[in-house]
Amino acid sequence: MSSEGSQSREEVFWERYRRVVLGAGVEAGSTVWYRRHVEGFIRFITPRRLRQANVADVSQYLLKLHRREDTEVWQVRQADLALRLMYQELLNEKWAEEWAVPLPMPMEEVAESVPSAELGKKAVFAEWGQWEGSLERMVKTMRYLHY
C-alpha cells in the first residue's frame, strides 16, 4: 500500500474526504455515493476550482439535481450533506460555516423524506422516543437535519 507521501494530491483529497464522511457517521458502503455527489459538483463548476465556488453554486447544483427525473428527494438531501461535509469539515470555507444553502424543493417534500423536518427539535426527539432506532441512527439524523 502506498504511503500518503507518494499519493497524488487528488488521492490524498479523496482519502481525507472519505475519513470526514465516515467520521460523520455515514456507513462505509455509502461513502462512494458522497464522493459521486462531490464529483458531480466539480464537473458542474468546472473550469473553476472547489475553493472558488460559493453558496449560489451549491444551490444551483442542487436545483439541477432536483430537476432531474431520475433523482429522489433523499438523493438531493444526500448531495447537500456531501457538499456540506466537504466545505465545512474538509475545506473549512468561511461561507460554509452557517450552511445557508436552501434546498431546492418545497418543505412538504423535505418533510416526506426526513421525519419531522419542519417541526423542530422537540418533535424530532418525540418521534425518536417511538422508534426502535439505535443511537448511531439518531446521531446521523440529527447531523443530517443540521441540529
What is the 3-class SS of 58-94, one letter each residue? Answer: HHHHHHHHHHCCCCCHHHHHHHHHHHHHHHHHHCCCH
Q: How many residues does the chain have?
A: 147
For the question of whether the overall pTM of this predicted structure is more than 0.75, the answer is no
Query: Is 75 found in the same domain as 26?
Result: yes
**Which residues constitute the domain of residue 52?**
4-109
Bigger pLDDT: 144 or 75? 75
Query: Is 49 found in the same domain as 88?
Result: yes
What is the domain-level CATH number for residue 103? 1.10.150
Query: Is 82 found in the same domain as 43?
Result: yes
Predicted pLDDT at 118: 43
Query: Is 143 found in the same domain as 88?
Result: no
Query: Is 89 found in the same domain as 147?
Result: no
| CA dihedral angle for residue 59, residue 40, residue 136, residue 13, rounded to 10 degrees | -110
Query: Is 88 found in the same domain as 120?
Result: no
Query: Is 77 found in the same domain as 128?
Result: no
Domain count, the chain: 2
Query: Is 138 found in the same domain as 118?
Result: yes
Cα–Cα distance measured from residue 76 to residue 81, given in angstroms and rounded to the nearest whole number: 9
pLDDT one-digit tens code per residue, 64-85? 999 999 999 889 999 999 999 9
| CA dihedral angle for residue 139, residue 142, residue 146, residue 147, rounded to 10 degrees | -100
Grid cell 483529497 in the structure block, residue: 13
Query: Is 54 found in the same domain as 105?
Result: yes
Instruction: Please name which of 101, 102, 105 lies closest in space to residue 113, comparing C-alpha atoms.
Output: 105
Predicted pLDDT at 101: 86
pLDDT one-digit tens code per residue, 112-126? 555 444 445 445 454
